[in-house]
Amino acid sequence: MSRTFVALALGVALSGCMALDDLSEAPPKLTGKMIAQMAKKGMKPESPVLVRIFKQESELEVWKVDKSGTYALLKTYPICRWSGELGPKTRTGDRHAPEGFYHVSAGMLNPNSQFYVSFNLGYPNRLESALGYTGEALMVHGACSSSGCYAMTDQGVGEIYAIVQKALAGGQDKFQVQAFPFRMTTANMAMHRGDPNMSFWRTMKEGYDAFEVTRRQPKVSVCERRYVFNKEFEGGEPTDPLAACPPVINQLEPQAMAKIEAEERKVDMAITGSLPMSTAMTAYSDGGMHPSFRALLKTQGPKKLAASVSAIKYPISRPDAALADPFDGR
């Protein structure tokens, strides 16, 4: 089997089962195959949904509540293109794709996007606005071009859009999007321990760990210039993201908190030097691309890849940077 055919087969398998010919101008609907996949995992099409995004791995996960009442992984999608660097978006024009906790309502879905269909992450959120961060229209959309968004290809975003739209139509008020720099394992935290964003990432990891331990959507509050998870406060929710947090009157059950605190201790040890600093990072160029799409970019070139993932053949953004891959040693 030729290298080109292997790369193409891998890309098609990862980016979804529909072809560009299957896309219409009408908003995408759930396919029978996806409904069957949900049923096999004990999920209903209208059950709540949650999305997690990982920059370094260039992956987007869709989770749904199953018959146990907790979230289970439905499907992992490769990200064709994201831009900027690891770390939160702080200003218009920095090309950074956002990192943070966002909540997407039905009004934030766009069935008439320039990039097929899309949904707005809601950047800047309450915390980011309070910190003075700027930017707008940061999306998850189709094609394979990014200047701060997460580009999933038309095929990929079509399937994701259909899944989240059905959950919102089924009664979910809004779904949570958790956008991380990388899978927040101890090893990854150690690899990036010299990064100036580490303090922010450690806060992000608290929410990551809460979901990993409970498989429930974490409750997100903002005070003291940071995210605070799964806590109830005296007098209700904090109203000023920059002010001190009110006294806590309730939080996660002790067993879950013990697991999260144990994970925090592991990270404490890792980032103080007990694990060697990884040399996986090479010279940073601009954003990332999932290895499956990078293989296609190498064999097909940017024009053919653009034609295969976008009905309007929207150009691949900065293809040379996409080929550079600063994470190739992970």
Enumerate the active-site residues: 141, 149
Please give the Cα distance from 256 to 69 (Å, whole number): 17
Residue by residue, DSSP assigns 152-172 as --HHHHHHHHHHHHHHHHTT-
C-alpha closest to that of 15 among 27, 4, 7 = 7
Q: For residues 153 and 80, what is the distance between their CA atoms, to the nearest angstrom? A: 6
Q: What's the gap between Cα 145 and its chain centre?
A: 16
CA 102 to CA 85: how far, in whole Å?
Answer: 19
98, 60 contact by CB (below 8 A): no
Q: Write the secondary structure of 227-280 as one string of H (helix), E (strand) and C (coil).
A: EEECEEECCCCCCCCCCCCCCEEEECCHHHHHHHHHHHHHHHHHHHHHCCCCCC
Give the containing element (helix H, strand E) for 201: helix 198-214
